[in-house]
Amino acid sequence: MQTLKYFEQEGGIYHLKVQKGLFYTISVLGFGAMIATLIYGTTKGAYMGAALLAFIVVMGILRSTGKISFDTQSRKIRKQSFFFSSEITYNFDDFDYFLISKLKSAFITVGVSAVLVMYVNGKTKNILLRQSFFTARPLQRLNDELSSIMGLSD
C-alpha cells in the first residue's frame, strides 16, 4: 500500500486534504486588515475596502469547507466547493490534462496553482486542486499521486 501525502484513503475513495492552514491564514490576515481599515479609515472608500476584505475573509472560511474525492471503483470525481453547495460529479474519462500554472513577478514565483482540466460535453472545466507559493515541486508531487490514483501512470 502506498503512502499518500495529499490524500486520505477510505477504501477505494481518495479524499484530497483541504489546505485549511492557507485559507485560515488568509482569513485571519484579511480580518486584521479589515479591523485596521475600520479603525484608521476616515473616508467612505476605506469602508468599501473593509467590506471587500470582509468578503475575502468569508470566502476563505467557506473555501476551507470544500472537498474533492476520487472514487476509483466507479471512476468518478466528486467536487463540492463549499459545505452548502451542491456536489458536482465528473467521470475519469472526461479527464483531459493536469495544469500547473505559475505567477511570476520580477523573476520570483509568487503563486502556483494545480488544476485538473476536464473536457465535459464540449466544454472545458477547471477543478482547482491546490495552491502554493514560491515553488511548484509540491504540486508536481500532488499530480504524480493523483495520476497513480486515477491509473494514468501505467
The string of pLDDT tens digits covering residues 69-125 is 999 888 898 999 888 888 889 988 888 888 888 888 888 888 888 888 989 888 999
| 88-91 sheet: strands from edge to edge | 7-10, 13-16, 67-71, 76-80, 88-91
pTM of the model: 0.78
C-alpha 87/C-alpha 77 separation (Å) is: 10
Q: Tell me: the pLDDT tens digits for 18-71?
A: 888 888 988 999 999 999 988 988 888 888 999 999 999 999 899 888 889 999
